[in-house]
Structure 1
Amino acid sequence: MFEASEIKRLIEQGMPCEFVQIEGDDGVHFTGIVVSEAFAGKPRVRQHQAVYATLGALMGNEIHALQLQTYTPDKWTQVREELGL
């Protein structure tokens, strides 16, 4: 069993992030939002790979699945306004 807070910590430690939110109730399946300027100009698959890289061997082992939404800070501002957050 893995904690969402530990995944959040590892992502924040492994890459520059403006915002990270990770949720998961069963200890192996998680969802998350990661906002980073490092995503600028990269396709979504490369953004997700950058996040997965911060978790290394945990992906596919202790962490069975991590469904991500990734944004640049500018896009995150726009999405938050659209969602009323």
Structure 2
Amino acid sequence: MRALLEQAFAPERLEIRDDSHRHAGHAGARDGHGHFTLEIRSAAFAGMAPLARHRAVYAALGAMMQDDIHALAIRASAPNE
């Protein structure tokens, strides 16, 4: 996940937290898909609406959104926000 996000956005800040342990027994967790919180700051997000930023993150993660990630909380910002 880190490599894909770094390649797509060259972020100034990138923090990925695995919260899967907090969702033990949840349907997605039973399938082996993780729950994550993402904080990312990148100039690539300048001028983008929040929804567009989320869509860009989903696109960058590609197949991981289907195969590895059940839930992803995203805080995406541009520099100086």
Unaligned 5+ segments in structure 2 are 21-32
Map residues 17-32 of structure 1 onto 2, 5 A cutoff: 17-26=11-20, 28-32=34-38
Q: Look up the SS of the partner of 1:11 in the other structure.
A: helix
Q: Secondary structure at the match of 1:41?
A: coil
Identity of aligned residues (%): 41
Shift of 1:14: 2.0
For 1:82, the equivalent position in structure 2 comes to none
**TM-score scaled by length of structure 2:** 0.76
Q: Does the Cα contact within 8 Å between 2:19 and 2:37 map onto a contact in 1? A: no
* 1:48 Cα offset (Å): 1.0
> Is 1:13 equivalent to 2:7 in the alignment?
yes
The one of 21, 36, 53 aligned to 2:59: 53
The runs of 4+ residues in structure 1 deviating greater than 6 Å are none
Distance 1:15 1:8 in 2: 11
Amino acid at match of 2:53: Q
Task: Give the whole-Å Cα distance in 2 for the aligned partners of 1:21 and 1:59.
Answer: 17
What 5-or-longer segments of structure 1 have no aligned partner? 1-6, 76-85
- Please point out which of 43, 64, 69 is paired with 2:49: 43
Q: Which has the higher contact order (CA 8 A, sep 6+)?
A: 2
Richer in strand (by share) = 2
SS in 1 for 2:66: coil
RMSD of the TM alignment (CA)? 1.4
| Structure 1 residue 62: Cα displacement | 1.1
- TM-score normalised according to structure 1 size: 0.73
